[in-house]
Amino acid sequence: MDEKRDEPNLSYRNGISQIQLYGEFTTKASRKVRYAVSLTERDLTVQKITSAPAGRSKVVFNLRDCVGCRAFKPDDNTDVGAYFSAYFYPFKKRWMSSGVARQRTEQCFRVASGLDPHLNLEEAQRWARAISEGSAHQRPQRNGVVYSEVCRPCKVLLLLNPHSGKGQALSLFTGHVQRMLHEASIPHTLVVTERQNHARELVREADLTKWDALVIMSGDGLLFEVVNGLMEREDWEEAIQTPLGILPGGSGNALAASIHHYAGSQPVSSEELLVSCGFLLCKGLVTRLDLTSVCLGSAPQPQRLFSFLSLAWGFVADVDIESEKYRHVGAARFTVGTLVRLASLRVYQGKLAYLPAEAAAAASTSTDTPLCPASSSTTSEVPSAHTHPHPTSSSPHGFCSSLVCRSSRASPGQNVTHTFHNYCNSNNASKAKRGRDRPPLAPALGRGRAPDSLLVPLDQPVPSDWTVVPEEDFVLVLAMYQSHLSEDLQAAPDSTLEDGLIHLFYIKAGISRATLLRLFLAMEKGAHVDASCPHLVHAKVRALRLEPYSAKGTITVDGELVDYGPVQAQVHGSLARLIAS
Ligand code: ADP
Ligand code: MG
pLDDT in tens, 292-322: 999 998 767 789 999 999 999 999 999 999 9
Distances (CA, A) of 562 to 199, 310, 317, 320, 473: 18, 12, 10, 12, 22
Residue % of the chain over a pLDDT of 70 = 79
Tell me the H-state helices in 460-565: 513-523
DSSP 266-325: PP--HHHHHHHHHHHHHHTEEEEEEEEEEEE--SS--EEEEESSEEEEEHHHHHHHHGGG
In this structure, the residue with its CA closest to atom 27 of ligand 1 is: 196
Q: How far is the CA of 309 from the centre of ligand 2 (A)?
A: 8
Opening angle at CA 370, ends 309 and 229, nearest 5: 30
The H-or-E segment that residue 225 falls in is helix 220-231
Q: What is the pLDDT of residue 363?
A: 74
Pocket test for ligand 1, best of 218, 269, 561 (most atoms within 8 A of CB): 218
Q: What is the pLDDT of residue 152?
A: 67
pTM, 2 dp: 0.84
Q: With bands split at pLDDT 50, 70 and 90, how would you rate the model's confidence at 390?
A: very low
DSSP letter (8 states) at residue 26: B
Cα–Cα dist 575/581, whole Å: 17
Q: How far is the CA of 235 from the centre of ligand 1 (A)?
A: 26
**560 C-beta closer than 6 A to ligand 1:** yes
Q: What is the dihedral of CA 25, 28, 31, 37, to 10 degrees?
A: -20
Cα–Cα dist 211/208, whole Å: 5
Ligand 1 atom nearest to CA at 193: 23
76 is catalytic: no
Tell me the H-state helices in 28-183: 117-137, 169-172, 178-183
Cα–Cα dist 248/269, whole Å: 9
Tens-place pLDDT, residues 460-517:
999 999 999 999 999 999 999 999 999 999 999 999 999 999 999 999 999 999 999 9
Q: How many CB atoms lie within 10 A of CB 580?
A: 28
Q: With bands split at pLDDT 50, 70 and 90, how would you rate the model's confidence at 332?
A: confident
Q: Higher-confidence residue: 376 or 217?
A: 217
Phi-psi region of 360 (alpha: psi -120 to 50; beta: other; left: phi over 0): alpha
The amino acid that residue 384 corresponds to is S
Cα–Cα dist 43/35, whole Å: 15
Q: Which ligand is nearest to the CA of 328?
A: 1
Q: How many CB atoms lie within 10 A of CB 438?
A: 16
**219 C-beta closer than 6 A to ligand 1:** yes
CA nearest neighbour of 22 among 32, 33, 35, 4:
35
Q: With bands split at pLDDT 50, 70 and 90, how would you rate the model's confidence at 154?
A: confident
Residue % of the chain over a pLDDT of 90 = 71
Q: Which ligand is nearest to the CA of 198?
A: 1
Q: How far is the CA of 497 from the centre of ligand 2 (A)?
A: 5
Q: With bands split at pLDDT 50, 70 and 90, how would you rate the model's confidence at 146?
A: low
Contact assessment for residue 137 and residue 167, using Cβ atoms and an 8 Å cutoff = no
Q: With bands split at pLDDT 50, 70 and 90, how would you rate the model's confidence at 144?
A: low
In this structure, the residue with its CA closest to atom 13 of ligand 1 is: 221
Q: Which of 210-224, 282-296, 402-416 has the lowest mean pLDDT?
A: 402-416
List of residues 6+ apart from 254 with CB closer than 8 A: 220, 309, 310, 482, 484, 485, 486, 487, 559
The amino acid that residue 479 corresponds to is A
**320 C-beta closer than 6 A to ligand 1:** no
**149 C-beta closer than 6 A to ligand 1:** no
| Ordered domains of the chain (ranges, CATH) | 13-136 (2.30.29.30)
Cα–Cα dist 254/486, whole Å: 4
- The pLDDT of residue 438 is above 70: no
Contact assessment for residue 223 and residue 214, using Cβ atoms and an 8 Å cutoff = no
Q: What is the dihedral of CA 180, 182, 184, 189, to 10 degrees?
A: 100
Cα–Cα dist 321/327, whole Å: 11
List of residues 6+ apart from 461 with CB closer than 8 A: none
Tens-place pLDDT, residues 185-201:
999 999 999 999 999 99
Pocket test for ligand 1, best of 196, 215, 310, 324 (most atoms within 8 A of CB): 196
Q: Three-state SS for 580?
A: coil
**75 C-beta closer than 6 A to ligand 1:** no
CA nearest neighbour of 518 among 509, 530, 505, 506:
530
Q: Three-state SS for 492?
A: coil
Q: How far is the CA of 173 from the centre of ligand 2 (A)?
A: 28
Bridge-based pairing state of the strands 536-548 and 467-468: unpaired
Q: Which ligand is nearest to the CA of 223?
A: 1
Q: With bands split at pLDDT 50, 70 and 90, how would you rate the model's confidence at 141?
A: low
Q: With bands split at pLDDT 50, 70 and 90, how would you rate the model's confidence at 235?
A: very high
CA nearest neighbour of 24 among 128, 114, 109:
109
Tens-place pLDDT, residues 50-94:
876 655 689 999 999 999 999 999 999 899 999 999 999 999 998
Q: How far is the CA of 310 from the centre of ligand 1 (A)?
A: 17
Q: What's the whole-number average pLDDT of the chain?
A: 83
Tens-place pLDDT, residues 37-57:
999 999 999 999 987 665 568
**487 C-beta closer than 6 A to ligand 1:** no
DSSP letter (8 states) at residue 440: P
Q: What is the pLDDT of residue 373?
A: 28
Contact assessment for residue 245 and residue 213, using Cβ atoms and an 8 Å cutoff = yes
Q: What is the pLDDT of residue 95?
A: 83
Contact assessment for residue 394 and residue 376, using Cβ atoms and an 8 Å cutoff = no
**218 C-beta closer than 6 A to ligand 1:** yes
Give the side-chain half-sphere CA count within 13 A for 510.
9
CA nearest neighbour of 524 among 493, 496, 495, 502:
493
Give the side-chain half-sphere CA count within 13 A for 130.
20
| CA dihedral over 530, 533, 536, 542, signed as positive or negative | positive
**225 C-beta closer than 6 A to ligand 1:** yes
| CA dihedral over 382, 385, 389, 392, signed as positive or negative | positive
CA nearest neighbour of 90 among 145, 43, 157:
43
Q: How many CB atoms lie within 10 A of CB 510?
A: 12
**221 C-beta closer than 6 A to ligand 1:** yes
Q: Which ligand is nearest to the CA of 413?
A: 2
Bridge-based pairing state of the strands 35-39 and 43-48: antiparallel
Q: With bands split at pLDDT 50, 70 and 90, how would you rate the model's confidence at 30?
A: confident
The amino acid that residue 256 corresponds to is A
Cα–Cα dist 564/559, whole Å: 14
Q: How many CB atoms lie within 10 A of CB 384?
A: 12
Cα–Cα dist 63/75, whole Å: 28
Q: How far is the CA of 479 from the centre of ligand 1 (A)?
A: 22
The amino acid that residue 250 corresponds to is G
Tens-place pLDDT, residues 266-285:
999 899 999 999 999 999 99
Distances (CA, A) of 581 to 177, 263, 442, 453: 18, 6, 23, 30
Average pLDDT over residues 545-558: 97
CA nearest neighbour of 500 among 441, 560, 561:
441
- 220, 318, 452, 499: which one is catalytic? 220
